[in-house]
Amino acid sequence: MNGRPERFTAPANELLVERLRDGFGLTGTKVGCDTGQCGSCVVRLDGRSVKSCLVLTAAAVGSEVATIEGVTTPGGELNGLQEALRQEHGTQCGFCTPGMVMALGELVDNTAGGEAPTEPEIREWLTGNLCRCTGYHSVVRGVQRACAPSAPVEAAAASGASGQEG
């Protein structure tokens, strides 16, 4: 769990989201729809984003589970994607944010050092995450900023670049 081994006993019908929230107190993983449609419960299971409301805890035994609580840097700072989303105002109410960060983190990881994803590719990646506040425009800009090969997040912030269209 977030890089630490955990030992526990779970009922056979327990969902991973229940174990995370109720068993481990990792409440950053949200419960939204309970049907796998909203994406607020996304975590990374062995590096792949999954909806934890659709995964039995037993199916995750022996796997590396990463939650939003585990994505900050060792010093506690926001990671590059989180910082880019902050700079682009890619969050509003914040309910969907943990799930989006976990899902989009896989996209960012998959494109690291390669070609940045296009806007349609980012929007396609977001189809499993519902957001009622942002309209996704600022989220897309945040991902583009996080994936920009020539503009690290910190350098873009220092230069005053906003990435917003005028």
In this prediction, residue 97 has a pLDDT band, given cuts at 50, 70 and 90, of: very high
Which percentage of the chain shows pLDDT scores above 70?
89
Nearest one of 2, 54, 40, 46 to 24, comparing CA atoms: 2
Q: What is the mean pLDDT of the chain?
A: 88
Strand (E) or helix (H) holding 76: none
Whether the per-residue pLDDT at 19 is higher than 80: the answer is: yes
* Token pair listed for 142: 């945040």
pLDDT above 80 (res 34): yes
- Of 8-22, 71-85, 135-149, 152-166, where does mean pLDDT reach its minimum? 152-166
> What is the pTM assigned to this prediction?
0.85
| Whole-number pLDDT of residue 146 | 93
**pLDDT reported for residue 54:** 97
Under 8 Å CB-to-CB from 13, ≥6 apart: which residues?
56
